[in-house]
Chains A and B, each alone.
Chain A
Amino acid sequence: MTELHEHLFRREAGRLVATLTRILGVEHLALAEDVVQDAFCRALEVWPFRGVPDNPSAWLMATAKHRALDALRRERTARMLAPELARVLESDEQLFTEESLRDDQLRMMFSCCHPRLSEAAQVALMLHILCGFSVDEVAGAFVSTHAGVEKRITRAKNVLAQSQRLFEIADARDFATRLPAVHRALYLLFNEGYHGASPESAVRAELCREALRLTGLLLEHPVAATPATCALAALMCLDAARLPARLDAAGHLSVLAGQDRSRWDADLMAEGQRLLERSASGPELTEYHVEAAIAAVHASAPRLEETNWGQVVSLYDTLLAIRPSPVVALNRAIAVAQRDGAERGLAAIAAIADRERLAGYPFYHAALGDLELRRGKGETARGHFAAALALARNAMERHFLEQRMEACDAGKADLAWQPGPTCR
């Protein structure tokens, strides 16, 4: 019996909806979603008795197509439209090649990044349509309420439907104009997984994986595989390589300094390095290039002490010039502390122009605590960790910070903190 491929339905949901929406027209997005859901239900009814078909993707696509045809024949208002669409649906097997499925997903990805939508709405829409996340699952990913996410997604779908047509990926100029927004949305999706504010950790790696998969679709497309796309993919691979070590054996959050580097994923690391080299063509230096380069410096250090902190500091300087943000400045200050000592690090934090914007960010207080602890001010450090603890967003962060407070009591300063992906 054919095995059920992991995440088959999630994968297929995105592919099928994207392709059917292209055929039926973007105004029929809801119909596309319905028939895909129907096809899945049918699979759930049939496969337990007959086994998983040899080609589950083709089975689901054929079933969804038939459902779409039935629906079009039933729908009075679409009767004028139906014969034409029916002809397309019935005739053309060529519509469903691997390449066309990929292009359909790209079309949908670019459509989701409509300029009338906020970045948060773009990411939510991508997760929902292309990654098959239910409203509840999207809400879980972004620590929002069901009602809030439903409203956001419904509104976003309306914007999409009103746009009359899907984004045309064949137009090179439009493509280049929209690509940065797509990069940004994918970056935010990845970051949410890597560093998000979820009260639980279960969905985290999933978001990183989906971001990597969608970025992989860009890499496969000749026009979309720009140096910036390669840099973004490099950044994701290099950071994702560290994911297995982000939780220690007991399931507790482990920051860069405390990580067992032998648990880093060597394949992803190598893939990231390869992509980073590929990204180094052309004149454009994006924030993704710089962040990937920072990740590569960490990746190439066999032990924390062997990190080239001077290089990290100067890369953060470059990043600050491209995308100024207090979180980036904080990360730079931490690297300064690693290079020049805690005093210099604290001075660098004090010099962050808009550092009041960091007040609600738990790891700002944790960084202060670490540096105070390192220069022997256990009491002051404890106060900072207490402030961080009050802002902690999940049990893993709380546990981590409680341990830091215990370290203050014991007068130990063996763990430095380093935050990973930045600028949000």
Chain B
Amino acid sequence: MSEFIYLYRSTNEASRAAMGSPEQMQKSMQTWMVWMQQLADKGHIKNPGHPLERSGKLVKGKQRTITDGPYAESKDIIGGYTLVEARDLAEAVELSKGCPILEGGGVVEVRPVLQTGM
């Protein structure tokens, strides 16, 4: 088994649109919970990870320039991450296809965790 990180990326607009009415939110929430639960039941979740605030600071270069989050005009903001276990990249990609963020036009970035000491 190898480890992979899912990075959930979406634009502010897309994530806002996915919210909609309370009943739509209920549906979104339901799909998220079911998807996560299914991954967990099959033993793929190494760590459910964390949601991230959509704002922050950027510290840049030798000058240590500090600016507000990179997000002013950026499109995909990372909204959270999960550490999963899968046989290989192909399986990790296959599993990510059920992620509800895709329904709202979002992106799941699947990145193998670099294996060390092997």
Contacts and interface: CB of A to CB of B under 8 A. Distances in A.
B19 interface: yes
B29 interface: yes
A385 interface: no
B19 A44 contact: yes
B25 interface: yes
B20 interface: yes
Nearest to A6: B26
B55 interface: no
B69 interface: no
Interface string A14-50: 0000000000000000000000010011011111111
Report the contact-size class of chain A (Cβ under 8 Å from the partner).
20 to 34
Interface stretch (A128-136, A177-185, A266-274, A408-416): A128-136
A137 B21 CA distance: 8
A8 interface: yes
Contact of B20 (A4, A10, A134): A134
Interface stretch (B45-53, B59-67, B89-97, B106-114): B45-53
B15 to A, nearest CB: 8
Contacts of B28: 44
Interface string A304-316: 0000000000000
Q: Is the interface of B mostly helix, strand, loop or mixed?
A: helix
Interface string B6-30: 0000000001101111111110111
A41 B28 CA distance: 11
Q: Is the interface of A mostly helix, strand, loop or mixed?
A: helix
Given A10-B23, A136-B21, A43 B29 contact: yes
A10 B26 CA distance: 8
A132 B29 contact: no
B33 A48 contact: yes
A130 B49 CA distance: 35
Contacts of A51: 33
A134 B80 contact: no
A7 B25 CA distance: 10
Interface of A: 1, 4, 7-10, 12-13, 37, 40-41, 43-52, 132-134, 136-137
12 contacts: A4-B26, A9-B23, A40-B25, A41-B15, A46-B51, A48-B36, A48-B80, A49-B80, A49-B82, A51-B33, A136-B21, A137-B23
A-B pairs, top 5 by smallest CB distance, nearest first, are A134-B21, A9-B22, A48-B32, A132-B22, A45-B51
